[in-house]
Each structure stands twice: as structure tokens, then as C-alpha cells.
């Protein structure tokens, strides 16, 4: 049963005013004017018939006036209806988690800045705080910096809200929720509320974040989700750039490649892409992307841009047409410093014959690392010292099986962020791979060797043209992969959606299967199984397989440092003096140096706060630079379905879309549903009724 | 017919009851009313002029040329009208109701004031026409009777009596009028000025009595405008001036019904008079006096 309470209960002392109409009524009856009249015989005849009607009307008028005064007094006392379950009048500990991650810098469906909407919601909550309330404020990118404000200190809380802006960082929802839940739990106040204001990007809501959300609800906190967008907004953005300039078409000029992705379910317009060196335009190109397509766009460059540093690197800024999320429409790259992927290729000699070196040749044909690959050939014994410090990717080529120790090393390497490439072949034991090595790395099972029917071969078909493994090839879905043919392949079964068939035979048997950090070739580059190593597809395919495993694993993170991570640079020689790092927006940091494989790496002490070029300096001399970009993790702007966040039995996780719904919710939970306006309307109606009923009571002067 | 229809006519306000009531002396009131009235009657057939020459009066624009004294005009080049003295044997009796209800005044002039002024004007007119006129002021079965005579002293006496009248007592036609009727042996004209707040049957009885005595009866039913309209606008206690009875009500609730009842009552009185071949004239205390005087002259013309 809803209860009525009064927000201005002090005004109820005016309730005796309801006696005023009663007094006026009775006093006016007693003080009726006496009018001498020649005769009352005509009135007397009429009176009995009218008197009942008059008295009834008098009573009605009295009732209307008394009610009007009563309701007027009550309206000024601000009555409020307390909805069932609302915690009114009890001070509450209110946690506000404001998402300030990169995607909050995007526009919403109505082209309004998401952050502005989010600040508006947060401000509404803060302004409704009552004396005695405690407000805890946290931003999703800085979960450890919780700001507390007393209920009456609206200014402090409002100032915090106004200072929040979208930052080029991914949200750390789980950590932020965990911190707020803990702080709310420590409050002496029993009523606790947690408001999450976010665009609820799918990438932010991993199982850990969802768990924290539910944990807060289970702890008795009223959790309310305030989405600032409801649907996906179209967006495109850079995901990478090839620092190596390639010869231009027909040998003219140079070509700079940038990778750009369309996250929308609709094709893009023709996007213009420009490259700038400082303020000078050095290259341009354009591209049209299909829905969900990721591809390289070529920018024609007349000549190699003049380098700034002594190492021949030129920092360029790539820019695409701006759209919903401007942060990912710009990409920093250092030309002349191709990614260097350190590859440990493990193969074994058989019968004194060394294994064929097709793969090392494909990756680093000149042996000078200019292709971006640094290949180390080794036997299975090298696996005992496999570690991320030695290699980014390990290639297991045509190995029958691994020792238990080597197998464990490979798994640890993968867990530590290393990429694993498995090239099966004539000597691989499918049973071993199926039962021992593959589980935990990739959901793939092998059923033995499949031979092509006599007189025919397996022709290869592309299944996922946009996949990084195929990025060096021009193919369409189901299109042939050059003239590559295989006579035998390992018969494989993909066991779950976490593994993807990138290349298959024309008959649908998987040939190349990829999972995060793992690529498996079920055919072979060896001559026994076909002529793949001699086809035009060989080099790009081999490089794609290795590159994909390297990128999908942690190795790529160092090659593409993102804002929020500490800038890192590889050095050939250890510096003689202490290193400092300078970056955009007055970034200054020290750097520490540690040995890494044959070289060294320098890591800044402070994380990068903004995208741009970060320079590593030994004294005044620049010895290395690194381009830091915004993590494209949130660029898809795909919101998580909120039902999936709240669907948990008895937990009360409310979703309030729109500022007016929030305002009503706050009003209900803070003050109850105010009835003053309804009361005033009722007073108006009563007075109108009084006017109609007693319209003839206007005195003539 | 309007007073300003002819140049030189006295202002119409001389016939306005409120204006006339401001004159202190009733004889002046009577003179003003009658002269104002007669001057305005320049095209009226009611000259009141007889064949016997009485006096000259200076010609006023609008006066009929047929009474112009051509000889005087020829001799002195001055325009005079010849006025004639009428011979008559009319005996008129003015019956003025002085009951308490006649004292009611909603706008400053009470019904009794109106009746008094009208009676004085009628008396003045009659005496000037050498008619015999008497007065009977009555209330509550009592009354002061001045028998009809045609002398100027009679006029003074009547005017003095009228001036002394004060409202009081109840309207009692049965008692008062029957007594007058008994004493009026010679037939004549009976002019009743009253608000007729009595039982209609009793009024009819009195009228019938006069008619039985061969009197002509002219009834001026004097009502205050507020008595017809009942135009009060708030709740009040109404006190009957004669009986003291009190009724508390809101006029706006009863107004329509009240007006209908008063109309029906007046209509009944009118029909009652007509049935007895008496003339009934409803006047309000704001009705100009010429209306009443015209009614009288019409009546007189029918009689003689």
C-alpha cells in the first residue's frame, strides 16, 4: 500500500485554515442583511420549494470551499506518494560509475555527444542527493580514483562530473565495479544504490565485469543501468599501418598502406584517407568498405618523406573522413620501421637431411630482416628455452610430436602472449595432435590423412577473405587461392566457433584454421603433399599465417602500443645514460631498459595518455621513437544487449533509458511521486465548481 | 408625445417623479406637474377648455392658433390666447393608501410620495377645472376624509392633508373603502392610489361597492420598480413592512418565480377591475406623472 508523506511537512500547521470557509459560512449566515419589503407573501409562497435546494447548494459550496482550502494547504506541503519498494527518507550511499572510455567520445543516434548525455545523467543524480547521502564517483578508465562527496556537497560532486571527458582508453568496468562495490559495502548507510552510466560497449562487458555487476546486486545494492545509446552507430576507423613503404603501382612512386575497418552493417561511402608529415600532406588515397570489412588502403606517395630522427624514421599521421567516433579516424605511424616479428622456426632433420627452408625464405628472403621477420631456425631442443623474450612466434613445422616438456613450454609461451603456428605435414601424428597438443590451443581435431582421388588434386579456396592471413592475397569468398594445389591434407574438424576455417579445399575440408594466437596449416609446404610452396600464394600465405598468429597474440601489442600502456621501444645497444621519454600533451617519463633476446628493450615508467609519437632520449639525443595509437577495441560501437546484463534471477538490476525516465526514477526514490500539481489542479477544479455553483453571488455595488 | 416636441415647452423633468419630489412644497409640486403637463398637451384633444371665456394667456410657440385672440393681435400686435372656463359637475374622490407598505422606496421615492404627488397634481388639475375633489387617506381601516368641494380653499386643505401623510398600518380595503362608499351618495369619480396589497377578493368587493353606488372607478396600482423586478443580488432576510414577517432567501434563486407571481397577481387585479368596469392603471413609482394624468383625462373625457 503506497504511503503519502509530505516534503514540506512544516506547512501543515496551516491546516486549520480549512476552518476559514466554515467560519465565513456561518458568520455570513448570521450577518444576513435585513431588507424591508412591501410584502413577503410572494416569497413565502416560493420558499418551501426552494429552501431545500438552496440549503443543498449551500452545503455543496461549503464542501467545495473547504476541500479547496484543504487541498491548497496540502499542495504547499508537497505531498508525495511513496511507491512500493522505494527507499525514501533513508539516506543512501550512491555510487556513480561514469564511463569515460574511448567510445564515449562518439556521437549517439541523434548525433549528440555521448559524454554530454552521460554527464547530464550523472548531474541529475548528484543534484538529487539529499543531506546525509554519500556519493561515490568513479570513472571507468580510472577505477582506483574514487571521489567521495557528502550529500549536501553538490558542488564538489557536480564539479567532478563536469570535469569528466571521454578519454582514448578502453573501459575497465570490472575493476571499477569491484572498487565501487567494495566502497559502497564499507558505508555505514544501509540503503545503497549504484548507477552505471555508459554506452555499454560489448567490448567493455567481459564476464568479469558482468560478474561484478551481479555481485553488487546480490549484495543488496540497487543497481541501475543508464544507457546513453540504444543501438549500434555506424563507424569506421584505422586499425593499423604498414610502416614499410612499398613500390608504387607499375614501379612509380611509393605506396603507404593503412588498414581501415568498417564496423557498420552497411557499406561506407568513398572514404578519403590522407597522410601528413607534420602539416605537409605527403600522400592520399581513398577506399570504399563493405559491411564489416577490414582492408588495406593504399596511399600514393611521390617520394620517401624526409625523416626526422637519425634512424631514418618519419612520423606520419594518417587521417580518414571523420565519423561518429573521431578518435579512431587518426593513426600515427613511423615510416621506415617495419614491424619486426621474431620467429623461432622448429623443424627436425630426418635421415641427415635438413628440413626444407621454404618458410624461412618466404618470411625473410634476403636474410636481412628487412621484410619485418627475424627468423631463427632451430631443432626441437630449442623449445626447452622457448619464451616471449626469445620469440614472438614459434613455428612447429612437420613435427611428429613434442616431448611433454616442450609441449608445456609451448602452452606457457602461448599463455604469455606468444603466437603458435603449426604447419602439419607428412610426419605429423594426427592422434598426438588431437589428443595432446591442440586441446587448449585451438578447437580442432585431426582424423588422419586425406588423399586426393586419383587423377585429381585439392584446390584451395578462400573462406574468410577479410582475415589477416589472406590480406596479402586478392581473393573473394570461395575464390581460388592462386594455382596452389595439394595432393594430400590432414583431415580436420573444427570443433567450435572459436576456431575459424580461413582456407579450405573446394570440397570444404579445412586447410588453414586460425584461433587467437594460433594458426594451423593442415596441408604442407613440403613437396610430398603438393606444389603449394611453388605457387604465387605461397609467400603471402606463409607471411599471413605467421603475422596473424603474432598479431592475435600479445606480440602485436608491443608492435602497436596503445594509449594506456607504457610506451616500449626495442634497442640494439644498451644506452649509456638514463633514458627519458617525451610524448604529446607534455608527457614526460623515465624509462627502464632490460635485455630482450639478442637486444634490449626500453619501457617508459608512465603509461601513454594520448596518441602520438613518443621519443626515447638518451640525454638530448633521440635514440628511438614509437607511435602510440588509440586501441580500436571500442571502435565497433556495438552495445551489449542490456538484458544479458540483468538476466539473473532475483537480482534487481533496472535499466532506465532516457533522461526523463531517470528524472522520474530519482523523484520517486528520493521524494516519492509528488502530488502537488495534481492537488493544485484539483483546487482549480473545485474553484471552478464553486464559481459555477455560486456564480450569482457576485455583489452589485 | 414628448414634452420637448414643441419649442418653449417646459422640460420633461417636470413630470419626472424624482425631480418633482425634490420640491419641498406639495402645492408647488402639483402646479409644476399640471402646468408642465398641460403645456405639453398642445396637440391633445384634452384641452379642458369650456366655452366661457376666463382669461388671456400669452401665446407660446406650439399653441393652437384657433384660440388666438385675433382682435388683440390686430390692436396691439401681441399674440394672446383666449382661455375658457369649463363648466362641470364632476365630483372626484382621491383615495390614497397610506399603509406601511406604501412607505417602501427602493430608489429614494416611496410609493406614498409618488401617490401623494400624483394625488396633489390631480387635485390641482381638478380644482383648476372647477371640479369638486375630495380626499380620503386610509390605512388599517382608518382614514381621514375630506369631502369633495370645488373651491381653491379645498385645494389647500387637500394639499395640506397630503403633505401630512405618513405610511403606517395595513391596507384594509374592506374597512376603509366600504366606509367611503357608504358616505358617497352622489355619483362621481373615485380615484384609488394604492399598492393593492390586500386580498384581491376584498379589493373586488370594494370596487364593486363603488360601482354599485354608480361611481366611476380609476385604480392607479402603484408599485415600486423593485417590487416588480425583485432585483436583489445576495442572500437577505426580507421583512414584511406591514406584518413584520421575515423570510430569508436568495433573490436570484426565486427571482423568476417571483416575477411570474407578481405578473399573475397584477393581471388578476387588472381583470378584476375590468370585470367591474373599473379602469386599472399600473404605474411604478418611477413612472412620469403625465401617464397618470392622461389616464385621468381620458377617463374624464369618457364621462363628460
Q: Which helix (H) or strand (E) covers residue A180, if one does?
A: helix A173-185
The reply to whether A126 and A220 lie within a common domain is yes
CA distances from A594 to A487, A579, B252 (A): 48, 12, 106
Domain of A324 in residue numbering reads as 236-338
Confidence of residue A332 (pLDDT cuts 50, 70, 90): very high
DSSP state of A398: S
Q: Is residue A257 part of a domain?
A: yes
* C-beta of residue A546 within 8 angstroms of C-beta of residue A373: yes
Contact pairs from chain A to chain B, CB under 8 Å? 91
Q: Is residue B23 part of a domain?
A: no
Q: Is B262 on the interface with A (CB under 8 A)?
A: yes
**Selection from A53, A133, A62 nearest residue A671 by Cα:** A133
CA distances from B63 to A450, A513, B40, B52, B55 (A): 148, 136, 9, 19, 15
- pLDDT value of residue A39: 87
Could you give the CA distance from residue B199 to residue B206 in angstroms, rounded to a whole number?
A: 11
Could you give the CA distance from residue B161 to residue A672 in angstroms, rounded to a whole number?
A: 84
The reply to whether A530 and A586 lie within a common domain is no
What is the mean pLDDT of the segment spanning A160-172?
A: 91
Confidence of residue A54 (pLDDT cuts 50, 70, 90): confident
Chain A residue whose CA is closest to B102: A38
More confident residue, B231 or A44: B231
Confidence of residue A444 (pLDDT cuts 50, 70, 90): very high
Q: Which residue has the cell 399598492?
A: B195
A673-674, strands of its sheet edge to edge: A3-6, A79-82, A673-674
Q: Is B46 on the interface with A (CB under 8 A)?
A: no
Q: Is residue A249 part of a domain?
A: yes
- pLDDT value of residue B135: 92
Beta bridge partners of B70: none
The reply to whether B64 and B176 lie within a common domain is no
Which residue among B240, B253, B265 sits closest to A40, beta carbon to beta carbon? B240
How many alpha carbons lie under 13 Å from residue B264 in its C-beta half-sphere?
Answer: 7
CATH number at residue B133: 3.40.50.410
Confidence of residue A87 (pLDDT cuts 50, 70, 90): low
Within a 10 A sphere around the Cβ of A206, how many other Cβ atoms?
A: 12
**Selection from A148, A128, A221, A149 nearest residue A178 by Cα:** A221
Domain of B56 in residue numbering reads as 49-85
Could you give the CA distance from residue A298 to residue A314 in angstroms, rounded to a whole number?
A: 18
- pLDDT value of residue A496: 82
Could you give the CA distance from residue A577 to residue B265 in angstroms, rounded to a whole number?
A: 128
The reply to whether B77 and B102 lie within a common domain is no
* Cell numbers standing for residue A329: 579516424
The reply to whether B80 and B187 lie within a common domain is no
What SS3 state is found at A92?
strand
What is the mean pLDDT of the segment spanning A646-672?
A: 77
pLDDT value at A15 more than 60: yes
A116 contacts: CB under 8 Å, gap ≥ 6: none
Q: Is residue B173 part of a domain?
A: yes
The reply to whether B135 and B266 lie within a common domain is yes
Q: How many residues does chain A have?
A: 701
A679 contacts: CB under 8 Å, gap ≥ 6: A71, A72, A74, A75, A79
Number of domains present in the structure of chain B: 2
Q: Which helix (H) or strand (E) covers residue B28, if one does?
A: helix B26-40
Q: Radius of gyration over alpha carbons of chain A, in Å? A: 37
- pLDDT value of residue B27: 63
More confident residue, A99 or A88: A99
Q: Is residue A137 part of a domain?
A: yes
More confident residue, B186 or A392: A392
- pLDDT value of residue A537: 83
Q: What are phi and psi of B38, to 5 degrees?
A: -65, -40
Tell me how close the Cα of A42 comes to any Cα of chain B, in angstroms: 6
Tell me the angle at which helices B251-275 and A41-76 cross, rounded to the nearest 10 degrees: 170
* C-beta of residue A135 within 8 angstroms of C-beta of residue A157: yes
Tell me how close the Cα of B258 comes to any Cα of chain A, in angstroms: 6
What is the mean pLDDT of the segment spanning A409-428?
A: 88
Which residue among B224, B233, B257 sits closest to A699, beta carbon to beta carbon? B233
Q: Which of B23, B58, B85 is the last residue of a domain?
A: B85
Confidence of residue A274 (pLDDT cuts 50, 70, 90): very high
* Cell numbers standing for residue B281: 392603471
Beta bridge partners of A462: A503
- pLDDT value of residue A646: 76
What residues of chain B lie within 8 A of the CB of A54, using their CB?
249-250, 253
Q: Is B240 on the interface with A (CB under 8 A)?
A: yes
Could you give the CA distance from residue B48 to residue B131 in angstroms, rounded to a whole number?
A: 11
Tell me how close the Cα of B242 comes to any Cα of chain A, in angstroms: 7
B214 contacts: CB under 8 Å, gap ≥ 6: B187
Could you give the CA distance from residue A489 to residue A504 in angstroms, rounded to a whole number?
A: 10
The reply to whether A122 and A223 lie within a common domain is yes
Contact B249 A47 (CB under 8 A): yes
pLDDT value at A46 more than 80: no
Chain B residue whose CA is closest to A33: B236
**Selection from A32, A612, A68, A92 nearest residue A334 by Cα:** A612
The reply to whether A425 and A547 lie within a common domain is yes
Tell me how close the Cα of B263 comes to any Cα of chain A, in angstroms: 11
Q: Which residue has the cell 620517401?
A: A304
Q: What is the pLDDT along chain B (304 residues), one digit of tens a residue?
A: 333 333 333 444 555 666 666 655 666 666 666 666 665 553 333 344 444 555 777 887 777 777 788 888 888 888 888 766 544 567 889 999 998 999 999 887 899 988 988 888 888 888 877 788 899 988 876 777 888 888 888 888 998 888 888 888 776 667 778 888 887 777 888 899 999 888 888 888 889 888 888 888 889 999 999 998 888 877 788 899 888 888 877 777 778 888 999 999 999 999 999 898 888 888 888 888 877 777 777 777 676 5
Which residue among A39, A41, A697 sits closest to B234, beta carbon to beta carbon? A697
Q: Is B27 on the interface with A (CB under 8 A)?
A: no
Could you give the CA distance from residue A533 to residue B263 in angstroms, rounded to a whole number?
A: 127
- pLDDT value of residue A591: 92
- pLDDT value of residue B298: 77
For A532-591, the pLDDT digits (tens) are: 888 888 888 898 899 888 766 544 445 558 888 899 887 877 888 889 999 999 999 999
Q: Which residue has the cell 377617463?
A: B299
For A681-696, the pLDDT digits (tens) are: 999 999 898 888 776 4
The reply to whether B114 and B78 lie within a common domain is no
The reply to whether B70 and B155 lie within a common domain is no
CATH number at residue A666: 3.40.50.410
Give the pTM.
Answer: 0.51
Q: Which of B37, B65, B85 is the last residue of a domain?
A: B85
CA distances from B153 to B26, B117, B133 (A): 15, 18, 11
Confidence of residue A200 (pLDDT cuts 50, 70, 90): very high
Within a 10 A sphere around the Cβ of A698, how many other Cβ atoms?
A: 10
Q: Say if the ipTM goes beyond 0.85.
A: no
Q: What is the β-pairing status of strands A134-139 and A92-98?
A: parallel
Q: Is residue B210 part of a domain?
A: yes
How many alpha carbons lie under 13 Å from residue A546 in its C-beta half-sphere?
Answer: 29
- Of the residues A39, A45, A695, the best mutation for testing chain B's interface (the one with the most B CB atoms within 10 Å of its CB) is A39
The reply to whether A63 and A97 lie within a common domain is no
Q: What percent of chain A has pLDDT over 90?
A: 25
Q: Which of A312, A338, A364 is the last residue of a domain?
A: A338
CA diameter of chain B: 74
DSSP state of B303: H
Q: Is residue A562 part of a domain?
A: no
Could you give the CA distance from residue B149 to residue B163 in angstroms, rounded to a whole number?
A: 19
Q: Is residue B217 part of a domain?
A: yes
Q: Is residue B14 part of a domain?
A: no
CA diameter of chain A: 147
3-state secondary structure A184-227: HHCCCCCEEEEEEEECCEHHHCCHHHHHHHHHHHHCCCEEEEEE
- Of the residues B114, B250, B256, the best mutation for testing chain A's interface (the one with the most A CB atoms within 10 Å of its CB) is B250
**Selection from A639, A613, A638, A626 nearest residue A330 by Cα:** A613
Could you give the CA distance from residue A566 to residue A581 in angstroms, rounded to a whole number?
A: 10
* Cell numbers standing for residue B235: 442572500
Within a 10 A sphere around the Cβ of A412, how many other Cβ atoms?
A: 13
Confidence of residue A98 (pLDDT cuts 50, 70, 90): very high
Beta bridge partners of A580: A590, A617
Could you give the CA distance from residue A202 to residue A206 in angstroms, rounded to a whole number?
A: 8
Q: Is residue B129 part of a domain?
A: yes
What is the mean pLDDT of the segment spanning A53-64?
A: 82
Could you give the CA distance from residue B229 to residue B236 in angstroms, rounded to a whole number?
A: 16
Tell me how close the Cα of A17 comes to any Cα of chain B, in angstroms: 25
Q: Is residue A643 part of a domain?
A: yes
Q: What percent of chain A has pLDDT over 70?
A: 90
Strongest mean pLDDT among A618-622, A651-655, A673-677, B88-92:
A618-622
* C-beta of residue B149 within 8 angstroms of C-beta of residue B89: no
- pLDDT value of residue A597: 59
Q: Where are the beta strands (DSSP E) in A125-173?
A: 134-139, 142-150
Q: Is residue B22 part of a domain?
A: no
Q: Is residue A561 part of a domain?
A: no
The reply to whether A287 and A393 lie within a common domain is no
Q: How far is CA A507 from the centre of its chain?
A: 39
Q: Is residue A153 part of a domain?
A: yes
Chain B residue whose CA is closest to A35: B238
CA distances from A454 to A450, A457, A458, B216 (A): 12, 8, 11, 153
The reply to whether B67 and B117 lie within a common domain is no
The reply to whether A296 and A345 lie within a common domain is no
Q: Is residue B26 part of a domain?
A: no
Could you give the CA distance from residue B80 to residue B72 in angstroms, rounded to a whole number?
A: 7
Contact B249 A51 (CB under 8 A): yes
The reply to whether A644 and A587 lie within a common domain is no
- pLDDT value of residue A88: 57
Listing DSSP states for A241-269 in one string gives EEEEEEEPGGG-SEEEEEEEEE-SSS---
Q: What is the β-pairing status of strands A79-82 and A568-571?
A: unpaired
The reply to whether A361 and A418 lie within a common domain is yes
Q: What is the β-pairing status of strands A373-378 and A191-198?
A: unpaired
Tell me how close the Cα of A49 comes to any Cα of chain B, in angstroms: 10
More confident residue, A621 or A122: A122
The reply to whether B118 and B254 lie within a common domain is yes
Query: Mean pLDDT, chain A, as a whole number?
Result: 84
Which residue among B241, B257, B261 sits closest to A37, beta carbon to beta carbon? B241
The reply to whether B62 and B186 lie within a common domain is no
- pLDDT value of residue A180: 92
pLDDT value at A655 more than 70: yes
- pLDDT value of residue B4: 37
- pLDDT value of residue B202: 86
CA distances from A366 to A344, A361, A370, A544 (A): 17, 8, 8, 18
Q: Which of B39, B63, B85 is the last residue of a domain?
A: B85
The reply to whether A259 and A349 lie within a common domain is no
DSSP state of A574: -
What is the mean pLDDT of the segment spanning A251-259?
A: 80
Which residue among A32, A44, A51 sits closest to B237, beta carbon to beta carbon? A32
What SS3 state is found at A87?
coil
Q: Is residue A631 part of a domain?
A: no
CA distances from B231 to A58, A257, B258 (A): 21, 100, 10
Number of domains present in the structure of chain A: 5
The reply to whether A221 and A266 lie within a common domain is no
- pLDDT value of residue B250: 75
The reply to whether A354 and A468 lie within a common domain is yes
Contact B246 A696 (CB under 8 A): no
Amino acid at each position: 500500500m503506497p504511503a503519502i508523506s509530505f516534503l514540506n511537512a512544516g506547512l501543515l500547521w496551516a491546516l486549520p485554515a480549512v476552518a476559514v470557509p466554515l467560519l465565513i459560512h456561518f458568520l455570513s449566515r448570521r450577518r444576513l442583511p435585513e431588507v424591508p419589503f412591501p410584502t413577503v407573501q410572494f416569497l413565502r409562497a416560493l420558499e418551501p420549494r426552494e429552501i431545500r435546494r438552496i440549503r443543498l447548494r449551500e452545503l455543496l459550496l461549503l464542501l467545495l470551499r473547504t476541500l479547496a482550502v484543504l487541498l491548497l494547504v496540502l499542495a504547499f506541503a508537497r505531498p508525495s506518494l511513496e511507491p512500493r519498494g522505494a527507499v525514501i527518507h533513508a539516506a543512501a550511499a550512491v555510487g556513480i560509475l561514469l564511463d569515460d572510455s574511448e567510445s564515449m567520445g562518439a556521437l549517439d543516434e541523434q548525433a549528440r555527444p555521448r559524454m554530454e548525455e552521460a554527464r547530464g545523467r550523472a548531474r541529475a543524480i548528484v543534484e538529487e542527493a539529499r543531506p546525509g547521502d554519500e556519493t561515490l564517483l568513479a570513472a571507468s578508465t580510472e577505477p582506483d580514483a574514487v571521489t567521495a562527496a557528502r550529500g549536501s556537497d553538490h558542488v564538489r560532486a557536480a564539479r567532478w562530473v563536469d570535469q569528466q571527458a571521454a578519454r582514448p582508453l578502453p573501459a575497465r568496468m570490472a575493476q571499477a565495479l569491484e572498487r565501487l562495490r567494495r566502497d559502497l559495502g564499507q558505508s555505514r548507510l544501509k540503503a545503497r544504490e549504484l548507477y552505471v552510466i555508459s554506452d555499454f560497449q560489448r567490448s567493455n562487458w567481459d564476464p568479469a565485469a558482468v560478474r561484478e555487476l551481479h555481485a553488487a546486486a546480490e549484495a543488496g545494492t540497487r543497481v541501475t543501468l543508464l544507457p546513453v545509446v540504444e543501438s549500434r552507430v555506424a563507424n569506421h576507423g584505422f586499425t593499423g599501418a604498414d610502416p614499410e613503404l612499398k613500390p608504387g603501382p607499375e614501379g612509380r612512386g611509393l605506396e603507404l598502406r593503412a588498414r581501415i575497418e568498417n564496423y557498420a552493417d552497411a557499406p561506407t561511402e568513398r572514404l578519403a584517407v590522407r597522410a601528413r608529415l607534420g602539416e605537409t600532406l605527403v600522400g592520399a588515397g581513398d577506399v570504399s568498405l563493405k559491411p564489416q570489412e577490414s582492408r588495406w588502403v593504399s596511399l600514393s606517395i611521390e617520394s620517401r618523406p624526409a625523416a626526422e630522427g637519425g634512424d631514418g624514421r618519419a612520423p606520419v599521421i594518417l587521417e580518414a573522413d571523420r565519423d561518429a567516433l573521431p578518435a579512431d579516424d587518426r593513426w600515427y605511424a613511423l615510416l621506415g620501421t617495419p614491424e619486426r616479428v621474431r620467429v623461432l622456426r622448429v623443424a627436425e632433420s630426418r635421415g641427415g637431411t635438413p628440413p626444407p627452408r621454404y618458410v624461412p625464405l618466404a618470411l625473410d628472403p634476403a636474410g636481412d630482416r628487412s621484410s619485418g621477420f627475424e627468423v631463427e631456425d632451430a631443432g626441437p631442443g630449442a623449445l626447452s628455452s622457448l619464451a616471449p623474450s626469445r620469440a614472438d612466434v614459434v613455428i612447429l613445422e612437420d613435427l611428429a610430436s613434442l616431448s611433454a616438456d616442450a609441449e608445456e613450454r609451448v602452452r606457457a609461451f602461448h599463455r604469455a602472449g606468444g603466437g603458435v603456428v603449426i604447419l602439419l605435414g607428412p610426419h605429423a601424428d594426427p592422434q598426438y595432435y588431437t589428443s595432446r597438443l591442440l586441446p587448449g590451443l585451438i578447437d580442432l581435431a585431426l582424423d588422419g590423412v586425406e588423399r586426393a582421388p586419383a587423377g585429381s588434386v585439392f584446390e584451395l579456396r578462400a573462406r574468410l577473405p577479410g582475415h589477416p592471413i589472406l590480406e596479402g592475397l586478392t581473393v573473394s569468398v570461395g575464390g581460388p587461392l592462386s594455382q596452389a594445389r595439394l595432393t594430400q591434407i590432414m583431415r580436420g574438424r573444427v570443433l567450435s566457433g572459436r576456431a575459424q576455417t580461413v582456407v579450405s579445399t573446394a570440397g570444404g575440408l579445412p586447410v588453414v584454421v586460425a584461433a587467437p594466437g594460433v594458426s594451423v596449416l593442415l596441408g604442407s609446404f613440403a613437396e610430398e603433399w603438393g606444389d603449394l610452396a611453388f605457387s604465387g600464394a605461397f609467400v603471402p600465405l606463409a607471411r599471413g599465417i605467421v603475422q596473424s598468429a603474432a598479431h592475435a597474440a600479445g606480440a602485436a601489442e608491443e608492435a602497436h602500443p596503445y594509449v594506456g600502456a607504457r610506451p616500449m621501444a626495442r634497442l640494439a645497444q644498451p644506452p649509456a645514460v638514463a633514458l627519458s621519454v617525451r610524448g604529446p600533451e607534455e608527457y614526460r617519463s623515465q624509462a627502464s631498459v632490460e635485455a630482450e633476446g639478442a637486444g634490449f628493450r626500453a619501457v617508459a615508467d608512465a603509461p601513454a595518455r594520448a596518441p602520438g609519437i613518443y621519443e626515447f632520449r638518451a640525454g638530448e639525443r633521440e635514440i628511438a621513437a614509437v607511435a602510440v595509437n588509440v586501441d580500436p577495441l571500442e571502435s565497433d560501437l556495438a552495445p551489449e544487449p542490456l538484458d544479458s546484463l540483468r538476466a539473473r534471477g532475483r537480482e534487481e538490476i533496472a535499466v532506465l533509458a532516457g533522461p526523463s525516465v531517470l528524472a522520474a526514477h530519482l523523484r520517486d526514490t528520493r521524494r516519492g511521486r509528488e502530488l502537488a500539481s495534481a492537488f493544485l489542479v484539483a483546487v482549480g477544479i473545485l474553484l471552478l465548481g464553486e464559481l459555477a455553483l455560486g456564480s450569482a453571488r457576485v455583489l452589485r455595488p | 408625445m414628448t414634452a420637448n416636441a414643441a419649442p418653449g415647452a417646459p422640460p420633461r423633468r417636470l413630470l419626472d417623479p424624482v425631480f418633482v419630489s425634490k420640491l419641498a412644497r406639495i402645492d408647488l409640486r402639483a402646479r409644476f406637474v399640471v402646468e408642465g403637463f398641460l403645456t405639453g398637451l398642445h396637440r391633445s384633444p384634452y384641452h379642458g377648455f369650456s366655452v366661457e371665456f376666463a382669461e388671456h394667456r400669452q401665446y407660446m410657440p406650439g399653441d393652437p392658433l384657433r384660440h388666438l385672440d385675433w382682435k388683440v393681435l390686430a390692436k396691439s400686435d401681441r399674440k394672446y390666447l383666449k382661455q375658457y372656463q369649463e363648466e362641470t359637475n364632476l365630483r372626484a374622490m382621491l383615495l390614497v393608501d397610506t399603509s406601511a407598505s406604501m412607505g417602501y422606496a427602493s430608489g429614494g421615492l416611496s410609493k406614498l410620495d409618488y401617490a401623494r404627488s400624483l394625488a396633489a397634481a390631480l387635485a390641482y388639475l381638478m380644482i383648476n377645472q372647477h371640479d369638486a375633489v375630495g380626499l380620503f387617506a386610509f390605512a388599517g381601516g382608518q382614514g381621514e376624509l375630506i369631502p369633495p368641494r370645488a373651491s381653491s380653499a379645498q385645494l389647500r386643505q387637500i394639499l395640506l392633508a397630503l403633505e401630512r401623510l405618513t405610511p403606517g398600518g395595513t391596507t384594509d380595503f374592506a374597512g376603509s373603502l366600504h366606509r367611503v362608499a357608504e358616505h358617497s351618495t352622489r355619483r362621481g369619480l373615485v380615484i384609488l392610489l394604492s399598492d393593492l396589497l390586500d386580498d384581491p377578493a376584498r379589493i373586488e368587493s370594494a370596487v364593486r361597492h363603488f360601482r354599485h353606488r354608480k361611481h366611476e372607478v380609476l385604480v392607479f396600482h402603484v408599485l415600486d420598480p423593485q417590487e416588480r423586478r425583485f432585483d436583489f443580488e445576495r442572500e437577505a432576510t426580507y421583512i414584511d413592512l406591514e406584518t413584520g414577517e421575515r423570510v430569508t432567501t436568495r433573490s436570484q434563486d426565486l427571482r423568476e418565480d417571483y416575477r411570474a407571481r407578481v405578473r399573475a397577481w397584477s393581471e388578476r387585479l387588472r381583470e378584476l377591475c375590468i370585470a367591474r368596469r373599473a379602469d386599472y392603471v399600473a404605474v411604478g413609482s418611477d413612472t412620469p406623472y403625465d401617464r397618470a394624468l392622461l389616464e385621468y383625462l381620458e377617463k374624464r373625457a369618457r364621462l363628460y
